[in-house]
């Protein structure tokens, strides 16, 4: 029995999560696994009513689950930063989900904004460090509000934190068994402390993986290659901030936020799966948002729970529908409503 905590969250989160759960239900019937869910309302509405984001006792409760399925965090009536740090980042940090795994895979060339790129050209995975870097929130103001103000925002990188991320990426690349190439995406030419540590660790750990080819690209060049030669990539490892930025670009070249899913992974603990697109307030409640990112996140969750066949079936079904049925991956343009897309996946599993 898989115990899944469900946090629908804000905006379109609940709508896409409903479709993810629909597909989970269909998959459990077809593949014969059992699961139970508990809906938890850690979101902007609750914050507006109670002033609460996420308390330590909530974290303790979540630790009892096998996985977390999250919709989106971000509410237009709440000042930016409060829910993001109070809920989403708190979950990632407190549950030590130190990997943010973001596959970038094009399912249908018609939905790719790049000229002449086909599904075989865009198929790579970004391993984003998810517990340190600039996201650590370290820093301070000096002389705040004066003309001599200084704001420090520190990128915090520990050898242990960097090493466990890099090691995960090498293992992942080996298991993926494709080009067997791991690219470190950084900024060794300017950020000479953090990226010195990353680069040294990358090559030291890399010696233990002689079957994996090591490459390095500066992060700015990485964005260029995403557009020009995405076929060069297999697995990319990078820090939290760079990973945040390049995976939005990755989402665009695979067809948009409607299809981009990610996993916040603690290999030894509770992992959390989410569509990476955000709460999309302007589409909320209209039954137009694309639920495929949430459905793909549910697929990644199934894989993480050991339901490998079911996970593969979810992905294969999404690929088939994206190739044959959907007119677009964008909200309101799919040719189907949000719930119809969920029905289609569930029926075609
Ligand atoms: C993401 C999001 C979050 C991040 C925000 C909402 C805090 O952009 O998951 O990529 O920056 O990590
Ligand atoms: Mn982001």
Buried b / exposed e over 170-184, threshold 16 CB at 10 Å, is bebbeeeeebebbbb
For residue 149, pLDDT over 90 is answered with yes
Q: In the chain, list all ranges with CATH 3.40.718.10.
A: 1-98+261-349, 123-253
Ligand 1 atom nearest to CA at 262: 9
For residue 48, pLDDT over 90 is answered with yes
Average the pLDDT over 45-72 and give the result: 96
Per-residue confidence band for 226, with pLDDT thresholds at 50, 70 and 90: very high
| Helices 194-206/159-176 angle, 10° precision | 40
- Give the up-direction half-sphere exposure of residue 49: CA atoms within 13 A in the CB hemisphere: 6
Q: Which of 44, 88, 90, 263 to mutate to test the pocket of ligand 1 (most atoms within 8 A of CB)?
A: 88
Query: Residue 65 phi/psi, 5° resolution?
Result: -95, 165
For residue 63, pLDDT over 90 is answered with yes
The closest residue, in CA terms, to atom 8 on ligand 1 is: 244
C-alpha 117, offset from chain centre: 23
Residue-wise pLDDT for 9-39, tens only, equals 999 999 999 999 999 999 999 999 999 999 9
Per-residue confidence band for 197, with pLDDT thresholds at 50, 70 and 90: very high
Task: For domain 1-98+261-349, give its CATH number from 3.40.718.10, 3.90.180.10, 3.30.230.10, 3.40.710.10.
Answer: 3.40.718.10
CA of 208 to the centre of ligand 2 (A): 31
Ligand 1 pocket list (CB less than 6 A): 84, 88, 244, 276
The closest residue, in CA terms, to atom 4 on ligand 1 is: 244
Residue-wise pLDDT for 69-84, tens only, equals 999 999 999 999 999 9
Give the chain's length: 349
pLDDT of residue 136: 96
Average the pLDDT over 111-116 and give the result: 96
pLDDT of residue 198: 98
pLDDT of residue 160: 98
Average the pLDDT over 172-176 and give the result: 98
Q: Of the bound ligands, which one is closest to the alpha carbon of residue 133?
A: 1
Q: What percent of the chain has pLDDT over 90?
A: 99
Look up residue 331 and give its two tokens: 């909200």
- Contacts for 145 with CB less than 8 Å, ≥ 6 apart: none
pTM for the model: 0.97
pLDDT of residue 277: 87
Mean pLDDT of the chain: 97
Strand partners, 4: 37, 67
Ligand 1 atom nearest to CA at 89: 7
Name the CATH topology of 123-253.
Answer: Isopropylmalate Dehydrogenase (3.40.718)
Q: Of the bound ligands, which one is closest to the alpha carbon of residue 274?
A: 1
pLDDT of residue 155: 98
| Torsion angle, alpha carbons of 325, 326, 327, 332, to 10 | 140
pLDDT of residue 90: 96
For residue 306, pLDDT over 90 is answered with yes
For residue 279, pLDDT over 90 is answered with yes
Beta strand extents in 10-162 (DSSP E only): 35-39, 67-72, 99-105, 123-129, 133-142, 150-156
For residue 214, pLDDT over 90 is answered with yes
């Amino acid at each position: 029995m898989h115990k899944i905590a469900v946090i629908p969250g804000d905006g379109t989160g609940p709508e896409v999560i409903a479709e993810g759960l629909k597909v989970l239900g269909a998959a459990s019937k077809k593949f014969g696994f059992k699961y139970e869910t508990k809906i938890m309302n850690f979101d902007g509405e609750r914050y507006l009513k109670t002033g609460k984001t996420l308390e330590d006792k909530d974290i303790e409760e979540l630790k009892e689950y096998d996985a977390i399925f999250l919709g989106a965090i971000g509410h237009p009536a709440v000042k930016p930063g409060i829910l993001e740090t109070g809920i989403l980042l708190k979950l990632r940090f407190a549950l030590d989900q130190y990997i943010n795994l973001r596959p970038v895979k094009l399912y249908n060339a018609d939905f790719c904004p790049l000229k002449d790129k086909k599904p075989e050209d865009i198929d790579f995975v970004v391993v984003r460090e998810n517990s340190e870097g600039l996201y650590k929130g370290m820093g301070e103001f000096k002389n705040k509000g004066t003309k001599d103000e200084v704001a420090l925002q520190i990128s915090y990188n520990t050898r242990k934190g960097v090493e466990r991320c890099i090691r995960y990426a090498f293992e992942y690349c080996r298991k993926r068994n494709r080009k067997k190439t791991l690219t470190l995406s950084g900024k060794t030419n300017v950020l000479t402390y953090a990226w010195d540590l990353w680069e040294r660790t990358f090559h030291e750990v890399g010696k233990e993986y002689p079957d994996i080819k090591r490459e390095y690209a500066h992060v700015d060049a990485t964005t260029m290659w995403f557009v020009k030669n995405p076929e060069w990539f297999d697995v990319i490892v990078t820090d939290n901030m760079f990973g945040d930025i390049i995976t939005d670009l990755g989402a665009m070249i695979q067809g948009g936020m409607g299809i981009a899913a990610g996993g916040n992974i603690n290999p030894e603990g509770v992992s959390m799966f989410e569509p990476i697109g955000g709460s999309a307030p302007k589409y909320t409640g209209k039954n137009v948002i694309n639920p495929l990112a949430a459905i793909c996140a549910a697929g990644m969750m199934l894989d993480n729970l050991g339901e490998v066949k079911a996970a593969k079936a979810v992905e294969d079904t999404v690929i088939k529908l994206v190739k044959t049925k959907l007119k677009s991956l964008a909200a309101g343009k799919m040719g189907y409503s949000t719930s119809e897309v969920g029905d289609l996946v569930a029926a075609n599993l």
